[in-house]
Structure 1
Amino acid sequence: MMGPVLAACLLIILSTAWISQANGATCKKDGGVCTCNDQTKNVDCSSKGLTAIPSNIPVDTDRLELDYNKLSSLPSKAFQSFTKLTFLSLNNNQLQTLPPGVFDHLVTLETLGLSNNQLKSLPPGIFDKLTKLTDLQLDQNKLQSLPHGVFDKLTNLKELWLRNNQLQSVPRGTFDSLSSISSIELLGNPWDCTCNDILYMAKWLKKKQDEGLGGVDTAGCEEGGKAVLEITEEEAAEDCVYPNTTTAIPTTIITTLASSNDDDIPELPVPQENFQKFLGYQEPDHLPTQPQCLMSISGYLGLMMFFVLISAAILYVIHFLKKA
């Protein structure tokens, strides 16, 4: 009686081992380097020196780790087949940009890691399809700004990591849809607390601190070290002008100048060298030196004297012939 039972058990064990090994081979075939676990549907491609995402990753993967590689860009359709992913980590790579729609098919994703990359900006709507996301890691990048409404669809987000970027402020309403947020990291950014754009974040942080949100007091102003949530309207009274912003001439000035008479416009002294630069004037590469100028003038005078003498000689000859 025990013989067939033992044989069946042994067959099941061997089949499970073969399936697990076969799934591992799915990742390893065609030169693949990732490690697969059939039991948990996990695929680990971290620390492999990858410059591109492997093409032989099983489509039913639940957890995909791509940390510590050399990924500098992503194809727009890089993850379109992985509709069952709940965890995606791209931390510690060299990503400089994200193509629009790259995460649109990851509708079940709960954790997205983008820490320690080179991201300077985010495309509008980049996270709009990730409505189940609970953990978003954007720390240790070079983000200089956030697009309007970038977190509007993330109503289930609990943890948001934005520390150690280059943010000076956030657009009004950026955090309003984060109804489930329990932790937010904002420290290590050069928050400009003299600019009135900071007032939205200051008021939001103050409200969340009163509600018991952790970590909100870690966001400090670039100057003075004061907490952002303590900034008042009097302190942040300046209009915001950042390096990449073009300052336009006020319309009132243009209208005044256009309607004024020429006699009413005061004459402003302009240094000659500045005026020449304004007109795009440039000095010739090789101007004649003083001796060269003198030589040119003396040569010109000598030539003129030569023609005068020749003319006088011709007139003298003609006058002599007439007398003869």
Structure 2
Amino acid sequence: MYSPALADTPNALAHDRLPQHAPLVAQTRDGLVESVHYGSMIATAPDGRTLLAAGDPLAHFYPRSALKPLQAVAMVRAGLDLPADLLALTAASHSGAARHRDGAERILDLHGLTPAALENSTDLPYGAAEREEWLREGGQPAQLAQNCSGKHASMAATCVINGWPVRGYLDPGHPLQQLIAGTVTDLTGETPERTTTDGCGTPLFALTLRGMARAFGRLASAELPDGAAPADNPEAAVAHAMRQHPAMVAGEGRDVTALMRLAPGLLAKDGFEGVQLVGLPDGRAVAVKISDGGDRARMPVTVRVLEALGVDTAPLARIAAASVLGGGRPLGLLQATDFLPAPEAP
């Protein structure tokens, strides 16, 4: 029920403050559109120019866990030096499998730390199969099982490396978070419009899809010569680790892991509330935000844009659309709409 009092609160949303999203994905059942996901997207050139766009790609939004590769770059710049699988875990929203939990513990152990150093929130494993196994074995919500534990273990480790206090490493005024904020500004080319707190307790910045795409294009196109140390090019080190270990970035059965396996060379990271970023080796990039936070809509949009950019998306068919079933038989599809402008006539 509408309350006039609510309209006077700071959280009241006037219609003209809402992002102007476009219909990007639709689900059909027997020829009728059953539901629609609105959102915004942008594809950028290596120099940051806009190649394709739909909706409101310059509206500020929270990238959520899509920020993790940028946070990982900041930590490598600050001296974090990990094996590639653990660096991939640093940039991960992992499913909470044993390899992920053990990896976070390895990061801590390498730097003389224990799980007591972690300051992220507790949770059950994010992956459905991993969560069921954890519960069968009597597991309870835990910091190591939470999908950001790799990032937090590396944050604590970076503090040890630099002689910074480990306790309180999530405070926005802590040297680690100041370093990360500066790195995010550098990589995106944007000063965050505002700062809040992510679900795991980490400072979170409001940016635009254009800025995030610029950052992912920069990471994906960075090169790390054979034998070079991560510190020689932190952007390349993070991108290389994520591509080399896609199962550490997400997990088995996860679409981000599948995307990097099916299209080698792509750099992909998702974020809660319908966020998807992809960087291409040539420096182009794609950024997607689904307005209702619908996770199922991310990949159909992403694959459609990659196809428009000339990427061979035939191997991605199984993550580009999903069958809609009725009584166990296909009756429709969840698929991208024709949201991209038609090519100009020659």
TM-score of the superposition, structure 1-length normalised?
A: 0.22
Larger Rg: 1
TM-score of the superposition, structure 2-length normalised?
A: 0.21
